[in-house]
Chain A
Amino acid sequence: MEAFLKGRTGASKEGTHQNATAPGTSGKRDKQNRKTAHTPWVEKYRPRSIEDVAYQDDVIAVLRKTLQGADLPNMLFYGPPGTGKTSTILAAARELYGADMFRDRVLELNASDERGIQVIRDKVKNFAQLSAGGTRPDGKPCPPFKIIILDEADSMTQPAQAALRRTMEKQSKTTRFCLICNYVSRIIEPITSRCSKFRFKPLANEILLKRLKEICEKENVKCDEKGLEVILDTSEGDMRKAITTLQSASRLKLGDTIVQQDIYEISGVIPSEWIDKLMAACQSSSYEKLEAIVKEMMLEGHSAGQILIQVFDSVIPSTDLNDKQKSVICERIAVADKCLQDGADEYLQVMDVCTVIMWQKGH
């Protein structure tokens, strides 16, 4: 935010400088254009009202009741990334309070903000203690409470979470909490029992597809059906990832039609021919062949982590391995993944997994 503001002041100064030589308006308009170009589409196409939020019906039903004047419980949203958790609560808050009061009534803290126990004690508590009126400046009624959004709550420390417990109860008259996290198991029990939990499902492919097509139309991006399909595959129900991928692709191609290959390239997915070749080499039980192909994959710049993921995907449905063999391989993949995280050499780890597969296939 700071930098954003700075950028703006710098820009206006620039404008005044330019006044001497050229009409300042054109300079300003230029700035404006550039600024809009820089907005990520994820922000640009964030749902404005809760009706726009796709696919999460039960949450929407509860929020709609609240909008009609009922009370709001403390809420805990959990689910995989990119399913609309933050968008939902922001949209709801905007509808409740309108754009003006939004700033006074909503406190948003996410993982990038300092969120130790001290912040919970000072900032959250102070904000929660302020009481709120029941009308908006324009005379319309609005609920007499404020909302504190704790985004990415699973990265909060245990003591910080513990410090929330009493605050949540004591301030229930004036404040509602909305906690957002990916893994509900990382939120301590006393907090989960104080909230009503909502699970956000991964988005269905049709809904993703519809949204992507809308964006393509608005942004004048040409993308063929195959390309869109690959985006859906690689994003796994994550709307943010899908939109980001689309935007990166469109930046790279700039006006040309986006095809399958581009998406593979951007998302770092290894084309399936490579994996097929690798599996064939494992099947052949020739160490030299395997060594050659793994070396080549490394030279192509594919990352070992991605190779492991895709090998895993191809081992699980395979019919020429029995369950016991599969379990041995999967265990090995898990070990290799951990080793990679520790910084072990990629080539050796991939070879390790592949020799295990080779051994399992041969016996």
Chain B
Amino acid sequence: MSLWVDKYRPTQLGKLDYHKGQAEHLKKLVNGGDFPHLLIYGPSGAGKKTRIMCLLRELYGAGVEKLRIEHQNFTAPSGKKLEITTIASNYHIEVNPSDVGNQDRVVIQEVLKTVAQSQQLETSQQRDFKVVILTEVDRLTKDAQHALRRTMEKYMATCRLILCCNSTSKVIPAIRSRCLAVRVPAPSVDEMCSVLTNVCKKEGLTLPSQLAKRIAEKSGRNLRRALLMCEACRVQQYPFSEDQEVTEADWELYLRETANMIVQEQSPKRLFEVRGRLYELLSHCIPSDIIIKGLLTELISNCDGQLKAEVTQMAAQYEHKLQQGQKAIYHLEAFVAKFMSIYMRFMEETLMDAF
């Protein structure tokens, strides 16, 4: 028994639930014979991977679904050993080069070389190229992206790349111009509702439309998350009721409590307590940019007008520093401390004005 997310993942371009026009275009692209490199981008949970798998199936048929997991070893020029996990079928290989951090260039070159140098057998029935899927391209180093640029041209005859990322801002223009960019927007709330209802119907459950809508809204238009939430609801209580509580992740509640603590009291003692909570969040592998964004949304709702703009700019500034720095905790704490000082000054001023 698998999760609903995987169980009801569409496997054919024709069966996708939304962005049907785009699916048509992709189908034409496959049938046109001339298949370019693709750059697929969009927010998480929008269905990028699903679309890629559908494309592969369209290209190679059902054989592509026989997946195997491999551990590959590479040696960097410096002598360091690298290990990376790849998912592959006979026709494609999927790698996440950013797993190995700074040495991603080596992985890209090695993987592409091995794939590109082996010829596809029986080209009469199959395509004469293989597909390499690189995920999280926006987290590749500049060095690796430049290396990619050369390899993309060099091995055009035997392999195609499908690059997958959240945003094109961090992909260098040279790569963007070599690929056909495909944007996958997040599904709208209505589209998500219909998907949720369909899945429930297939499971033999009835989902009230009100609840479906609440789940869709709460998930932030992330379909994967919505489906997981829906399944959680099912476990919690069935039959569904209209006003059933949609469970949130623990860390979200925890983050909200933390934000409330910051607003309640501004003192070094409180800062110390908040630091403890931030450590707790970080040690549970919550990405630091999500923490900062979550804090911001909560804090903002307690501020007014001008202060909002100020706090937002501050958050942007500290988040930037955080990305450049090594230890996330310093920057998170600096952000909290700064907010406390601004907020206290603001409260004092309003009190002064009141008198």
Contact = CB atoms under 8 A, between A and B. Distances in A.
Interface of A: 1-4, 6-7, 10, 14, 18, 27, 34, 37-38, 112, 241, 244, 248, 251-254, 265-268, 287, 291, 298-306, 336, 339-349, 351-352, 355-356, 358-359
B46 A251 contact: no
B319 interface: yes
Contact of B312 (A14, A305, A351): A351
A342 B181 contact: no
Nearest to A299: B186
A7 B221 contact: no
Interface of B: 25, 28-29, 31-34, 36, 41-43, 46, 116-117, 119, 123-124, 128, 149-150, 153-158, 167-170, 176-177, 180-181, 183-186, 220-221, 289, 292-293, 296, 300, 305-306, 308-309, 312-313, 315-317, 319-320, 323-324
A303 B168 contact: yes
A301 B186 contact: yes
Contacts of A356: 309, 313
18 contacts: A3-B157, A112-B149, A112-B153, A251-B36, A268-B183, A287-B309, A299-B46, A299-B185, A300-B183, A301-B41, A301-B183, A303-B41, A339-B316, A342-B324, A344-B316, A345-B316, A345-B319, A351-B312
A351 B316 contact: yes
Contacts of A345: 289, 292-293, 316, 319, 323
Given A268-B176, A343-B324, 15 more contacts: A3-B157, A14-B124, A18-B124, A37-B33, A38-B156, A252-B180, A268-B168, A306-B168, A345-B289, A348-B315, A352-B317, A355-B309, A355-B313, A356-B313, A359-B306
A150 B158 CA distance: 28
Contacts of B220: 299
Nearest to A348: B316
The 5 A-B pairs at the shortest CB distance, nearest first, are namely: A7-B157, A352-B316, A355-B309, A305-B169, A301-B42
A347 B293 contact: yes
Given A3-B157, A3-B158, A347-B293, A301 B309 contact: no
A1 B157 CA distance: 10
Contacts of B46: 299, 301
Nearest to B116: A3
A348 B293 contact: yes
A302 B32 CA distance: 27
Contact of B323 (A18, A287, A343): A343
B313 A352 contact: yes
A267 B170 CA distance: 16
A346 B313 CA distance: 13
Contacts of B34: 37-38, 251
Given A345-B319, A352-B312, A252 B29 contact: yes
A61 B319 CA distance: 55
A266 B116 CA distance: 27
A112 B293 contact: no
B152 to A, nearest CB: 10
A34 B155 CA distance: 16
A306 B41 CA distance: 13
Given A3-B155, A287-B300, A345-B289, A299 B128 contact: no
A340 B154 CA distance: 30
A10 B31 CA distance: 23
B169 A251 contact: no
A38 B292 CA distance: 47
A6 to B, nearest CB: 7
A226 B119 CA distance: 43
B309 A359 contact: yes
Contacts of B128: 34
Contact of B25 (A252, A291, A341): A252
The residue among A38, A344, A356 with the most chain B CB atoms within 10 A of its own CB is A344
A266 B180 contact: yes
B157 A14 contact: no
B308 A287 contact: yes
A348 B296 contact: yes
